[in-house]
Structure 1
Amino acid sequence: MQVPMTPGRILKRAVKLYPDKTAVVDGDIRWSYSEVQNRVNQVVNALRGLNISDGARVAVLDYNTYRYMELYFGAALSGHVLSPLNIRLAAEEYAYILNNAENEVVIFHADFITVLDQARPRLNKVKNFFIADGPCDEEWITGTYEDLVSGAPADPDHHEPDDENNMLNLYYTSGTTGNPKGVMLTHRNIYANALSTIIAFKLDDATVWHHIAPLFHLADAFFIWSVTYQGGCHVMQRLFDPKPVLQTIQNEHITAAMMVPTMINFLLAVPGIDGYDLSSLQWVMVGGAPMSPANAQRMMEKLGCRYISGYGLTETTPLLTVGNLKDTLADSEDADKMNYLTRTGLEVPGVDLRVVDQNGADVPRDGSTIGEIIVRGDNVMKGYWKLPAETEQAIKDGYFYTGDLATVDAEGYILIVDRAKDIIISGGENIASVEVENVLYQHPDVLECAVIAVPDEQWGEVPMAMVALRQNAEAGEQDLIDFCRQKLARFKVPKTVKFMTELPKTGSGKILKIKLRKQYAAPGD
């Protein structure tokens, strides 16, 4: 017998075994799994009642709310594709993504009405806009999200995919080509990753998961499915604010969460942190950027929980490695244990991960020879939306090439040492340097430019732009920063601009970013 691997089976189990247990907490909302199922049924019927095509893309632009819980499962059971949107983008970026994805429905929080109204004249396919937590007081808004859902019947009418490899979610991720790329994840991808996550983190029905990192990112969203499968509880943190986060951990008896290092740094800086009862917190998965052993130790001491590193990509749904300590290393010196724990980690069950040289051969497990991480498994994406050439370039000989450079030691621990792709990771957010460069090149005074990551105490990394101006041009640093702010999300805008007569280049004319990094990206520069 072959039963389709689909998230619908995940919710079905939770409702069957834990019908009256609290499933989701969001402010005053506390819904049981039975209540979540009723809401999901209404979402399914509401979407099917709209005049949209089969498999239509439904975009959601929202904070971490209960809506994500019901929409992630509602899309799986209605035969539609959910397309979560980063809440920090500019109107021009939303217009590109919504048009590229051919979204027919946009569900958005009222806080984003202005930026969507700015993007709206450029949209080609969107038929319906539904506003959440706000009134329907603009002629272009179809209605409120709550009216859409609450007005639909709660009768179960669930869709089971004809093919578990059908696209279910469409995430946009920064790419080296400048424009974000749509990553197609399937029913099978989501289901398989949930199983891997449960095993890797030993999730059970006592898990109380704190959704702190944004749910439009897979970095946190993949726990929607794994925690639900085990009948755990989801607690929503609409926006990251250090004091309310600590208060929620105390009040809701949080057991686990995912955070990027920047968030942890903010938490540890809260005055009076020792006054919060954080005794329920068992572990925090740290991902999005590396964390030093010293900072990891400080986190464990202050929060009183275990540190677990995690690594993955949107293209891999996302989990690839987890930094658990092998039982054969339990008697190691404390310093050695921390070095293992803060490495990128061990491949999770269901993932075949290799580190290979330029000829595709596995590098020695010596902890020093550098190669590229390649992976295969049920969690690897279907491909890039509308980009067959890029898909073919990324998936070769049955493996997905991550572009991340790493070593592997004798124990099998992976350690990422560099990123082959020019991606800047700022506060856990990915920034494609080429995307920023493309904007700078639109300025009439810019002759050539390069954007690199430089260390930042608060955000880990921030973009810095190196610019050579055209002859007799007079644009200054603030002029270029202001220009970028008109076209990019604020976190993508260069924090500083360095002017040069000419940028260093290779013999073939390519800009030598490695030389710029050595000169400007060293700590203390």
Structure 2
Amino acid sequence: MGVKLIETTPSAYSYPLLVKNIFKNSLIRSPDQEIIYRDKMRYTYRDLHRRVGQLANALSELGVKQGDTVAVMDFDSHRYLECYFAIPMMGAVLHTVHIRLSPEQILYTINHAQDDVILVNSELLPLLEPIKDKIETVKKIILIQETDKAPETAIQFDDTYENMVTNAKKGYEFPDFDENAMATTFYTSGTTGNPKGVYFSHRQLVLHTFGLMTGLCAIDSQAVMTSKDVYMPLTPMFHVHAWGMPYLFTMLGNKQIYPGRYEPEMILKLVVGEKVTFSHCVPTIIHMLVNSPVADKVDLSQWKVVIGGSALPKGLCSAALKHKINLYSAYGMSETCPLLTIAHIKPHMEEWNEDALIDIRCKTGMPIPLVDIEIIDPMGNPVPHDGVQTGEVVTRTPWLTQGYLHNQSKSEELWEGGWLHTGDVGHIDTEGYLKITDRLKDVIKTGGEWVSSLTLEDIISQHPAVSEAAAIGIPDEKWGERPIVLVVLKPDTPSQGLEEEMKAIFMDAFKKGEIPKYGVPDKVLFVDEIAKTGVGKLDKKVLRVQFAD
């Protein structure tokens, strides 16, 4: 006999997991709490709810209907937050356009997603102008502008965002529909070929929001979040729903701060002036902030910051802790909505020394509830969780993208064997912590053996002269590849004698058993800057080409 299904009363209401149902609570709980955009806009949750309804009415007047796709090209703002809710709650699809791609790549994503309407910030028109005549499906373009001055452009607009919202009628009855309806789509920056589109349903966004709440707000750790926290994202809102955090903190009714462009002085001014207590970003952003002269003049001791997108180097973690920033790692990717793990410090570890705790903070973390993670060998077999044996990281959760948009072959690759393949290499230790040791495509293979580029970066990041570092493999006739390390030195630091000193650090790491002898880099090169992707990750594809010779 199979499972016994529950009986459903004919009159019973089947409550759908829709984005509108996580939006409701903030108006009940915190109607007068503030939402702030830079130094330009302050309003309450009452205003947010009113404007979300007006935006939905305005889009309906433009002809947007269920199943249509609305693209947004904007900086982090209250407007973006309104779009996060109004568009999917109507039954349309929100396309958060990756504004750091090239115009031709942006054109590809607009046409591939079959966008019907574009909302575009006037400062981003240079991205749209060269491709405007090649856009295939867009019927309406709405201008977002923050001044009264009309932009000089050949693009024809159907309205401005603020005029459209302000003049729209109030009140919109957001309907019920299937919780598996597509709510959002966006495109990965990719390493080869065109960007790939991922997509998420209402059900997935709601479950991810509750997963975030469990991981961030319920588990005893070094940084527990509550509705009293003041939230400011430092991950672009076009990138994986700003890690889904705006959905969580809107549901909880927190005070929210949106910084627009990422400028160190403005960010730190907002952190101090608005008493921000929680943010999230890639390592590049926190590196920029802790190296800003302003950081030495302000109190950052109440600021909790989650790092994701790239590994958190121990040297950067140590620098942030010196500023009393409560820094730690989390892990996910575009395909995973994104949260999978958080580097919680367990209660029995709290009395450990600082170096041991930094090691925990920099781990990839433990899976949050409803996340299954496994490490597999090349044959697809699980490897022991001993903190030593590595393999590819694969995962299952309710909120993983079910494929790549209009790309069946890549979707099957992603989901081979019924697990989502992250493309990351790592291990799980006996405490249950995942540690990513590399990307499959970034691992350095020398003489048939793997060397972790992340381990090399971690070792050298702790040198007091190092500002940033990247380890890559370059072609070698004898060994296939050999590791080299690129280093950006801190300002006014002479490089004389440092290469040999840093090579000696790697040799010492070999003697301690931290890396094999073949992992000791042949060269340490001092560079002015290290190439990065549009979301601030080290762009090792570019670096491998740049330093191939």
Q: TM-score, normalised by structure 1?
A: 0.79
5+ long unaligned stretches in structure 2: 1-12, 218-224, 444-452, 455-471, 473-480, 491-535
Q: Give, in angstroms, the shift of residue 494 of structure 1.
A: 4.5
**Alignment partner of 1:457 out of 462, 476, 488:** 488
The 1:157–1:177 alpha-carbon spacing in structure 2 relative to 1, beyond 3 Å, is same
- Within a 5 Å distance, the mapping from 1:29-44 to structure 2 comes to 29-44=41-56
Letter in 2 for 1:168: A
Residues 427-451 of structure 1 show CA distances to partners (whole Å, capped at 9, x for unaligned) of xxxxxx9xxxxxxxxxxxxxxxx9x
Measure, in 1, the Cα distance between the counterparts of 2:376 and 2:85.
Answer: 37
Q: Give, in angstroms, the shift of residue 26 of structure 1.
A: 3.9
- Within a 5 Å distance, the mapping from 1:173-252 to structure 2 comes to 173-202=188-217, 203-218=225-240, 220-252=242-274
Is 1:286 the equivalent of 2:307?
yes
Is 1:274 the equivalent of 2:290?
no
Letter in 1 for 2:73: L
Q: Give, in angstroms, the shift of residue 41 of structure 1.
A: 0.2
Indicate the SS of the match to 2:380: coil
Which residue of structure 2 aligns with residue 443 of structure 1? none
Q: Give, in angstroms, the shift of residue 458 of structure 1.
A: 8.6
8 Å CA contact retained: 2:110, 2:135? yes
Is 1:420 the equivalent of 2:440?
yes
Matched residue pairs, number?
447
Indicate the SS of the match to 1:416: strand
Measure, in 1, the Cα distance between the counterparts of 2:485 and 2:114.
Answer: 36
5+ long unaligned stretches in structure 1: 426-432, 434-449, 460-488, 500-515, 521-525
Q: Give, in angstroms, the shift of residue 272 of structure 1.
A: 4.6
Which residue of structure 2 aligns with residue 21 of structure 1? 33
Indicate the SS of the match to 1:49: helix
8 Å CA contact retained: 1:204, 1:231? no
Letter in 1 for 2:422: T
8 Å CA contact retained: 1:208, 1:253? yes
Q: Give, in angstroms, the shift of residue 225 of structure 1.
A: 0.5
Moved over 6 A (4+): none
Which residue of structure 2 aligns with residue 406 of structure 1? 426
Measure, in 2, the Cα distance between the counterparts of 1:311 and 1:318.
Answer: 8
Letter in 2 for 1:288: G
Q: Give, in angstroms, the shift of residue 372 of structure 1.
A: 1.1
**Alignment partner of 1:82 out of 94, 107, 110:** 94
Residues 66-108 of structure 1 show CA distances to partners (whole Å, capped at 9, x for unaligned) of 1111000001211111111122222211211111111011101
8 Å CA contact retained: 1:208, 1:256? yes
Indicate the SS of the match to 1:310: strand
Which residue of structure 1 aligns with residue 18 of structure 2? 6
8 Å CA contact retained: 1:23, 1:33? yes
Q: Give, in angstroms, the shift of residue 337 of structure 1.
A: 2.0
- Within a 5 Å distance, the mapping from 1:353-392 to structure 2 comes to 353-392=373-412
Measure, in 1, the Cα distance between the counterparts of 2:262 and 2:76.
Answer: 10
8 Å CA contact retained: 1:167, 1:382? no
8 Å CA contact retained: 2:54, 2:166? yes
Q: Give, in angstroms, the shift of residue 396 of structure 1.
A: 3.4
The 1:415–1:28 alpha-carbon spacing in structure 2 relative to 1, beyond 3 Å, is same
The 1:272–1:132 alpha-carbon spacing in structure 2 relative to 1, beyond 3 Å, is closer
Indicate the SS of the match to 1:383: coil
Is 1:69 the equivalent of 2:78?
no
Letter in 2 for 1:170: T
User: For structure 1, which segment, 188-197 or 174-183, has the greater mean C-alpha deviation from structure 2 after superposition?
Assistant: 174-183
User: For structure 1, which segment, 162-171 or 50-59, has the greater mean C-alpha deviation from structure 2 after superposition?
Assistant: 50-59
Q: Give, in angstroms, the shift of residue 53 of structure 1.
A: 4.7
Q: Give, in angstroms, the shift of residue 176 of structure 1.
A: 4.9
Residues 290-329 of structure 1 show CA distances to partners (whole Å, capped at 9, x for unaligned) of 1222321220121x13112011011111001100111232
Which residue of structure 2 aligns with residue 55 of structure 1? 67
Cα-Cα RMSD: 2.9
Indicate the SS of the match to 2:180: coil
8 Å CA contact retained: 1:261, 1:290? yes
Measure, in 1, the Cα distance between the counterparts of 2:343 and 2:136.
Answer: 44
Residues 41-84 of structure 1 show CA distances to partners (whole Å, capped at 9, x for unaligned) of 01111111222453111111111111111000001211111111
Measure, in 1, the Cα distance between the counterparts of 2:543 and 2:395.
Answer: 35
8 Å CA contact retained: 2:268, 2:294? no
8 Å CA contact retained: 1:47, 1:78? no
Richer in strand (by share) = 1
Percent of aligned pairs sharing the same letter: 29
The 1:403–1:358 alpha-carbon spacing in structure 2 relative to 1, beyond 3 Å, is same
- Within a 5 Å distance, the mapping from 1:18-167 to structure 2 comes to 18-133=30-145, 135=150, 138=154, 140-160=156-176, 162-167=177-182
Q: TM-score, normalised by structure 2?
A: 0.76
